[in-house]
Amino acid sequence: MNRSQRLPVGSGARQERAERILDTTAELLEQHGYRRVTIDDVASRAGIGKGTVYLHWKTREALFWAVLQREALRLFDHLVDELGKEPTLALPHRLMRVIFLDGVRRPLVRALLLADAAVLGNLAQDESVRAAQQDLAENPDYLQMLADEGILRPELSGATAQHILANVARGFSNADELGEDDGLSLEARADLLAYVLRRSLENDTPPDSATLAKLNARVTEMFQAMADGHREQLQRAY
């Protein structure tokens, strides 16, 4: 099953309209950021009345959060798909490489990862956005799974591992924002991120196939639960 098939389903025309509103809002957020986008802007570009937007989302903040939820949902579904193809993706250096590349290619995922106030505005401080950011970059449940399976370096506590993972991931994702041009290709930067995380977080002895399969199953279940939570909330607006 592909990602688009797993998106929330609603009644025909209503779902199509909701998707068009979300697509339009996402474009405007990427172009102008939270503070400069209004419901009037969304309605005008989508070719609908302002009241129609409110049939789906009662507030501007609820609409913008729905856009971010859909981005997170697509990423989590993608990760579940990829985990099903490649067990080693459950390891932090492989997992964060995929998330990094997705963030570079999809600006709203990157905005979530960095809690970018220029794009997200007041939503950057919202508890729901903060929770989604943690799911992407510093998930304590994921780190506990690594520790349980003996994959995390034994000298690292949960707090130190979380600090490393969050700050290394943000640092690589934020390099372009800081205007850094080191001449490395996107793939080379992704490989370098993977190298740093493997050396700093993972045990020197690679996990055996049974351990890796167990970790993969747990990580897949975690991301599936995250996806289902976002999908359920989006369903209500459809």
CB atoms within 10 A of CB 43: 18
Residue for token pair 């970018």? 116
Mean of the per-residue pLDDT values of the chain:
88
B/e letters for 195-222, b = 16+ CB within 10 Å, e = fewer, are ebbbebbbeeeebeeeebebbbebbbeb
Spell out the residues 6+ positions from residue 161 whose beta carbon is closer than 8 angstroms to its own.
143, 146, 147, 152, 153, 201
Contact 46, 24 (CB under 8 A): yes
Contact 98, 219 (CB under 8 A): no
Nearest to 201 by CA among 238, 150, 133, 125: 150
Phi-psi region of 120 (alpha: psi -120 to 50; beta: other; left: phi over 0): alpha
Give the pLDDT of residue 5: 40
Residue type, 99: I
Beta bridge partners of 202: 152
Q: What are the tens digits of pLDDT across the range 34-74?
A: 889 999 999 999 999 999 999 999 999 899 999 999 999 99
As separate numbers, helices (DSSP H) first and strands (DSSP E) second, the chain gives 13, 0
What value, to the nearest 5°, has the Cα angle with vertex 114 and ends 123 and 109?
80
pTM for the whole thing?
A: 0.85
Q: What are the tens digits of pLDDT across the range 1-20?
A: 444 344 444 567 888 899 99
Task: Record the tokens describing residue 80, joined without a space.
Answer: 């579940």
Residue/partner pairs of 120-126 with CB below 8 Å, 24 or more apart: 120/34, 120/64, 120/68, 121/33, 121/34, 121/35, 121/64, 122/34, 122/61, 123/34, 123/61, 123/64, 123/65, 123/68, 126/61, 126/65
Of the chain, the percentage scoring pLDDT greater than 90 comes to: 60
Of the chain, the percentage scoring pLDDT greater than 70 comes to: 92
Q: What are the tens digits of pLDDT across the range 68-115?
A: 999 999 999 999 999 999 999 999 999 999 999 988 888 888 888 888
Mean pLDDT, residues 171-199 taken together: 83
pLDDT band of 176, cuts 50, 70, 90 = low
